[in-house]
Amino acid sequence: MKKSFPWFGMDIGGTLVKLVYFEPKDITAEEEQEEVENLKSIRRYLTSNTAYGKTGIRDVHLELKNLTMCGRTGNLHFIRFPTQAMHRFIQMGSDKNFSSLHTTLCATGGGAYKFENDFRTMADLELLKLDELDCLIHGLLYVDSVRFNGHPECFYLENPSDTQNSVKTPCSLADPFPMLLVNIGSGVSILAVYSKDDYKRVTGTSLGGGTFLGLCCLLTGCETFEEALDMASRGDSSNVDKLVRDIYGGDYERFSLQGSAVASSFGHMMSKQKRDSISKEDLARAMLVTITNNIGSIARMCAVNEKIERVVFVGNFLRINTVSTKLLAYAMDFWSKGQLKALFLEHEGYFGAVGAFLELLKSSEEP
């Protein structure tokens, strides 16, 4: 028996909900006639809009076209909205009588557990809860294998040591194992992945995307990730950070530290004078650099300890975030003297949702 539509996969994180939706493009006239009204309206609502409510957004540029899955052909859509809007979303599911569609709602991420009861009581929906790290890995490997509309999903930065001129270069994950997978969401999880189903969580850090945004909001009064990144792109962190040369006048030769290296993040802010003279943009930039470098440093240490040379960075922190992408590529390369390679993926934060979606299809194949 074929799995009935609609096909969704959902990843409910600490900050963002990621939703993938499969839009069948091979619907026959017969089917169209049989399609119940609310299923049709869901399909139309999702595919004819790129923004939903105040905060929901469809990442049109990420859409995967002409996928064939379980004998059906269609497009995979990528939608996100803040976790804060979760109750509104559930309410909508209730209003649209989603439960009458008898679909399985596959969900991963912490919210699958946190909101399970709300789905049940508010919308009469049962969630199929899935482990987020399983989903992340399965989704990542799947998207890499189907490629991004004919192009590679994966890329790295050529010439990472020169952050001004590093070039985004597509590549294939062809032989992906072992890899160190660094997932930067609100917090950070670092996994050593040896095969599709053999992995371990090496460590994690609470200094992640949530920290960047949270501190930026407190320091600059900004409200969104986009705003924070925009400010950061215009700021200069050396007004905020204390560099090696600020302490030693130049390089610290005794320990071969470059004068331009950051000695103390926000170190200049110990001085009132300096606090009074910096801009919000500088603060946002310093925040971004601090968080990014710290993740890079921990990832690098893990890679060395686990003896893995390929470091794959994913997660929504990297969305539209070229500053961090370049910094991570640079950090991996520079501190390992070229031993480590940083890889990135186009669908950054959606792999968990894709993984959940794949589980839905898998469950339909079983008798």
Site for another protein, rule CB under 8 A: 13-15, 109-111, 113-116, 131, 133, 185-187, 201, 203, 205-211, 213-219, 221, 223, 240-242, 247, 254-255, 257, 261-273, 275, 283, 290, 293-294, 297-298, 301-302, 304-305
Q: 176 vs 185, which CB is nearer to another protein?
A: 185
Q: 111 vs 176, which CB is nearer to another protein?
A: 111
Q: How far is the CB of 288 from another protein (least distance, A)?
A: 13
Q: 167 vs 218, which CB is nearer to another protein?
A: 218
Count of residues in the chain? 367
Q: How far is the CB of 363 from another protein (least distance, A)?
A: 19
Q: How far is the CB of 66 from another protein (least distance, A)?
A: 35
List, in sequence order, the alpha helices (H) in the chain: 29-34, 37-48, 86-95, 111-114, 116-123, 132-146, 209-220, 225-234, 244-248, 272-276, 280-306, 322-335, 351-365
Q: Which of 23, 34, 116, 132 is catalytic?
A: 132
Q: How far is the CB of 146 from another protein (least distance, A)?
A: 28
What is the three-class DSSP state of 77? strand
Q: How far is the CB of 143 from another protein (least distance, A)?
A: 24
Torsion angle of the four alpha carbons 90, 96, 102, 108, in this order, in degrees rounded to the nearest 10: -20
Residue 306 catalytic?
no
Q: 154 vs 318, which CB is nearer to another protein?
A: 318
* Interatomic CA distance for residues 255 and 258, integer angstroms: 9
Q: 6 vs 111, which CB is nearer to another protein?
A: 111
Q: How far is the CB of 137 from another protein (least distance, A)?
A: 14
Residue whose C-alpha is closest to residue 182's, from 357, 345, 59 = 345
For 243-265, letters b (16+ CB in 10 Å) and e give bbbeeeeeebeeeebebeebbeb
Q: 83 vs 325, which CB is nearer to another protein?
A: 83
Contact between 102 and 71 (Cβ < 8 Å): no
The Cα-based distances of 175 to 49, 200, 288, 305 in angstroms read 38, 19, 32, 21
Contact between 229 and 288 (Cβ < 8 Å): yes
Residue whose C-alpha is closest to residue 353's, from 151, 149, 124, 64 = 64
Q: 35 vs 131, which CB is nearer to another protein?
A: 131
* Interatomic CA distance for residues 292 and 94, integer angstroms: 40
Q: How far is the CB of 6 from another protein (least distance, A)?
A: 26
* Interatomic CA distance for residues 10 and 129, integer angstroms: 10
Supply the residues annotated as catalytic. 132
